[in-house]
Amino acid sequence: MEREVLSRLLADRAAGRTVVLAKNLKSGANKLLYPFDKAEKSELLHAAREAALADKSTSMLDNAGGTWFLQVFNPGLRMILIGAVHISQPLARMAAMTGYAVTVIDPRRAFATEARFPGVTVTTEWPDEAMAKLAPNRRTAIVALTHDPKIDDPALVAALKSEAFYIGALGSKKTHAKRHDRMIANGFDEGTIGRIKGPVGLPIGARSPAEIAVAVLAEVVKTLHESEVEKVPA
Amino acid sequence: MNESLAAAADDVLARAHEWREAGRKVALATVVTTWGSSPRPVGSLLAVDTESQFVGSVSGGCIEGAVIREAMDVIEDGKPRLLDFGVTDTQAWDVGLACGGKIQVFVERLD
């Protein structure tokens, strides 16, 4: 491997960019592929994109040039929780165990304390400011949990403008319908609003905060692994 | 990539880069295929220099020695090699597994 390939790979990792290292097992050639940044089309890039979207670590491709070993370097998974509420406590812990770097946003200082969320980043900024700084990407899940449009909505607006792979919002069907109307008023179309999962979580009959956290996290995991593989053009 | 595997890979690659920048000769080994129960997943990395100092792991111990020996030749002639290993039941037992597996490791020089 050329030293400059390795330097670039490390720089990409540091910058939080998805990069795929393609290694030709016959010639020893190494290439870096950017599955989401470039419009360039090739068999190799397509395979890289599929692997990256499916959250696979590695993949193999045989073509005329030989056998290529693809190693996916995805940026770390993140979860942003809007609302330092009851459900956020178990959800933050479970998500951290599942490999997510968790940030809790809640401008209400009484809720958003380090003591209630040990080991989690807590911010009391308003969601629009906090979200602008966090810059969610396609490896980010966002869950709005406050029930309060003043707090949830600005976060959801930022979420819908981002490439976050999962956007969920707590609330009944009725609450979700009202939220839908507010998002229309914010200028989003049906398709975009459809990205918000609501009622949030897989239907497992969850009642307690911890059970709801299980339902939400299960839906996040499902969404991550289902991804959009089938939507990738050949 | 699985988070812990990614973190481990970052670590090995960063070290390999550091060594190379310091003028040391370095080879990089990557697990590219596994069959059966192999101790380390595909994508696991090991970097080694000519003093046989290494970081990372391709098998949890049973084939590291052989990979490092081959890596010396790779550093010498610059030709990458694809190595096949069968982890025998005895070897597998030694690293804490009850059954065997097979591993393919690609070794290349860091130029």
pLDDT score for A118: 87
* Residue A225, H or E segment: helix A209-226
Contact assignment for A3 to B110 by CB distance below 8 Å: yes
Model pLDDT for residues A16-69, shown as the tens digit of each residue: 888 999 999 999 999 999 987 766 678 888 888 888 877 778 889 998 888 999
Based on the fold, state whether residues A69 and A94 are members of the same structural domain. Answer: no
> Has residue A90 been placed in a domain?
yes
- Based on the fold, state whether residues A63 and A118 are members of the same structural domain: no
| Model pLDDT for residues B4-50, shown as the tens digit of each residue | 666 778 889 999 999 999 999 999 999 999 887 677 889 999 999 99
d(CA A146, CA A84): 8
A78 to chain B: which residues are within 8 Å by CB?
none
Identify whether the C-beta of residue A4 lies closer than 8 Å to the C-beta of residue A68: no
Q: Which residues of A touch B (CB under 8 A)?
A: 1-3, 6-7, 9-10, 13, 23, 25, 28, 30, 55-58, 60, 69, 71-74, 76-77, 99
A18 and A96 share one domain: no
Say if residue A165 is in the same domain as residue A199: yes
CB A119 within 8 A of CB A101: no
Question: Do A84 and A183 fall into the same domain?
Answer: yes
Count of structural domains, chain A: 2
User: Which residues, 6+ apart, have CB-to-CB distance to A14 below 8 Å?
Assistant: none
pLDDT, residue A52, reads: 81
Q: Read off the pLDDT of residues B66-86 as tens digits, 9 standing for 90 and up.
A: 899 999 999 999 999 999 887
Is A55 found in the same domain as A152? no
Same domain, A62 and A110: no
Q: Is the dihedral of CA A46, A50, A51, A52 positive or negative?
A: positive
Q: How far is A84 from chain B (nearest CA, A)?
A: 25
Sheet holding A196-197, edge to edge: A121-123, A101-105, A78-82, A140-144, A166-169, A196-197
Residue A75's pLDDT band (cuts 50, 70, 90): confident
| Mean pLDDT over each residue of chain A, to the nearest integer | 91
Q: Residues A65, A120: one domain?
A: no
Residue A229's pLDDT is 46
For residue A118, the 8-state DSSP code is T
Same domain, A105 and A40: no
Query: pLDDT, tens digit, for every residue of A101-139?
Result: 999 999 999 988 888 998 899 999 999 999 999 999 989
| pLDDT of A144 strictly over 70 | yes
- Which of B103, B13, B84 has its CA nearest to residue A7? B13
CB atoms closer than 10 angstroms to residue A192:
15
- Tell me, what's the pLDDT at B9? 82
Which residues span the domain enclosing A127?
78-226
The rounded distance, in Å, linking the Cα atoms of A120 and B109 is 41
Q: What is the mean pLDDT of residues A64-89?
A: 93
Q: What is the per-residue pLDDT for A41? A: 74
B72 touches chain A (CB under 8 A): no
For residue A231, being part of any structural domain is answered with no
- B81 contact A CB<8A: no
Size of interface A-B (CB pairs under 8 A): 69
Q: Give me the mean pLDDT over the B57-73 stretch.
A: 87
DSSP string, A38-74: -----HHHHHHHHHHHTT-SEEEEEETTEEEEEEEEP
Decide: B7 and A10 in contact? Cβ < 8 Å: no
Judge whether A170 lies within some domain: yes
**A123 vs B91, more confident:** A123
Q: Is the pLDDT of residue B54 over 70?
A: yes
Q: What is the pLDDT of residue A138?
A: 87
pLDDT digits (tens, 9 = 90+) for A162-175: 999 999 999 888 99
pLDDT value of residue A119: 83
* Final residue in a domain of this structure, among A73, A98, A131: A73
Last-in-domain residue among A17, A49, A73: A73
Which of A59, A69, A224 to mutate to probe the B interface, most B CBs <10 Å?
A: A69
pLDDT at A234: 42
Q: Return the CATH number at A96.
A: 3.40.50.720
Closest CA relative to residue B80, chosen from A21, A32, A68, A25: A25
Given an 8 Å threshold on Cβ–Cβ distance, is A1 in contact with B42?
no
Q: Per the CB < 8 Å rule, is B111 touching A1?
A: yes
Domain that includes residue B103, residue range: 3-110
> Do both A85 and A63 map to the same domain?
no
Write out the DSSP string of A151-196: HHHHHHHHHHHS--SEEEE-S-HHHHHHHHHHHHHTT--HHHHTTE
A139 inside domain: yes
| Euclidean distance between CA atoms B46 and B54, whole angstroms | 7
- Are residues A54 and A137 both part of a single domain? no
For residue B13, the chain A residues in CB contact (below 8 A) are 6, 9-10
Q: What is the per-residue pLDDT for A220?
A: 96
Q: What is the pLDDT of residue B87?
A: 64
Q: How far is B3 from chain A (nearest CA, A)?
A: 6
Q: What's the total number of domains in chain B?
A: 1
Structural domain includes residue A64: yes
Residue among A6, A23, A57 minimizing CB distance to B42 = A57
Of A1, A23, A76, the CB nearest to B110: A1
> Tell me, what's the pLDDT at B1?
47
By the 10 Å C-beta count (0-12 exposed, 13-18 middle, 19+ buried), A151 is classed as buried
Q: Which of B5, B106, B111 sits opposite A3 (nearest CB)?
A: B111
CB contact under 8 A, A9 and B13: yes
Lowest mean pLDDT segment, chosen from A46-50, B50-54, B97-101: B97-101
Mean pLDDT across B91-104: 61
